[in-house]
Structure 1
Amino acid sequence: MKAVIINCLESMISEGYGKPKWEATLVNAGLPGNTRFLASQDIDDRVAMKIFDATCTTLNISKRQASEAFGDYWVNEFCQRIYKAYFRGSKTARELLLKMDQIHENVTMNIESARPPRFGYKWKDDNTLLMEYRSGRGMIDYLVGLVQGVGKHFRENLRVRKLSESQLEITFPA
């Protein structure tokens, strides 16, 4: 996993709860509290997942709460600082979500060893999208939070339901 994901988590925790909580999260994950990651650095998926799990322990929140908080922060804070260009041209949550696979491909095209999740799309009906999540990382719960964050960004009340470990159902407002 690219460290930019963990950098976002660090920002979310440090800004929302204070730097000592981020350091405690690292310690709870079995790392030194002063560990730093370069954005393009590869982090072993197991280490990254330990950091995400430690977030729940440190902040005393559930995985669902952590997933929703991370997704909201990623879309509405972090991406607005470094990936804002990818939001241009999208006027709705539907438009942005349907571009996510292409965005991941574009962002990681020239990054050696990048293995971003990939997405497939199938329409159930005019307002219901089945979004396929293709990744061995098992982070679909975080995708739920990201999709909810996209809805918040566009001020749309999306209904997001996890159907399996590889598929979401997203219902857009009519």
Structure 2
Amino acid sequence: MYGLVNKSIQELITTNFGEEKWEIIKANSEIEIDYFISTEPYDDSITYKLAQAASIELGISVDEVLFAFGEWWVLKTGNEKYGGLMKAGGSNLKEFLINLPLFHDRIMLIYPKLTPPEFKIDEIEDRSLVVHYYSKREGLVGFMKGLLSGLGKLFESPVEIFHLFGRENGDDHEAFKVSW
């Protein structure tokens, strides 16, 4: 993952819990990187170690850490750093989610070494749809739920997210029903 991801985790922790808590989490993760460079790719294991250390230090599950980070990513990082791209995705939640498969195509122009997930959208109804999430990375169900929740908040459309199926049951991807 790019350094921007790890920097965003750092911002989430320092904003909500303080710099001292971040230093404890970073030390407990045993990561020996002083500063993350936004445009530099880092091994995924660094992000997972940070999430695990935050889980232990904050006394919450890794899924809860990833959920909080997913919301933060949309509401803070994504909105502040990619506001134009976010707005280009749609004027409401439904439009944005329908256009989600194209979003990472635009992001890859900025981060050419990105290994993005793929999204497919189906079962589109008036107030719900199904998001299919394909990624080489495992263990990010909580993050994906947080992203979807954050998008609901961004578009002022409270959402219900139901994890329909996923890799833990032998499927090749995750699927989420999103209702608003």
Which residue in the other structure is 2:3 paired with? Answer: 3
> 1-side partners of 2:125 and 2:92: how far apart?
18
State the alpha-carbon separation in 1 of the partners of residues 85 and 124 from structure 2: 26
Question: Which sections of structure 2, spanning at least 5 residues, go unmatched?
Answer: 167-173
Q: Secondary structure at the match of 2:163?
A: strand
State yes or no: 1:149 paired with 2:178. Answer: no
* Structure 1: distance between partners of 2:69 and 2:46: 17
TM-score, normalised on structure 1? 0.89
How far has the Cα of 1:67 moved from its partner? Answer: 2.5
Post-superposition shift, 1:156? 0.9
After superposing the two structures, state which structure 1 stretch, 119-128 or 156-165, moved more: 119-128
CA apart distance, 1:125: 4.0
Identical-residue share of aligned pairs (%): 23
1:92-171 superposed matches below 5 A? 92-123=92-123, 125-138=125-138, 139-165=140-166, 166-171=174-179
CA distance in 2, matches of 1:67, 1:160: 15
1:19 aligns with 2:19: yes
Report the Cα offset of residue 127 of structure 1: 2.9
Structure 1 window deviating more from structure 2 (145-154 vs 44-53): it is 44-53
* C-alpha distance 99-15 of structure 1, shift in aligned 2 (>3 A): same
Query: Which letter maps to 1:69?
Result: A
C-alpha contact 1:133 1:140 (8 A) present in aligned 2: no
3-state SS, counterpart of residue 79 of structure 2? helix
Task: Tell me the alpha carbon deviations over residues 2-24 of structure 1, each in whole angstroms, 9 at most, x when there is no partner.
Answer: 11111111101011111111111
Between 123-132 and 23-32, the greater mean CA deviation after superposition: 123-132
1:124 Cα deviation from its structure 2 partner: 5.6
Q: Name the Cα RMSD after superposition.
A: 1.7
Q: Report which stretch shifted further, 74-83 or 147-156.
A: 74-83
Hey, what's the Cα distance between the residues in 2 that align with 1:13 and 1:110?
Answer: 26
Aligned-partner Cα distance in 2 for 1:72–1:3: 18
Name stretches of at least 5 consecutive residues in structure 1 with no aligned partner. Answer: none
Kept in 2, the 8 Å contact 1:26–1:35? The answer is: no
Measured in 2, the distance between the counterparts of 1:2 and 1:163 equals 29
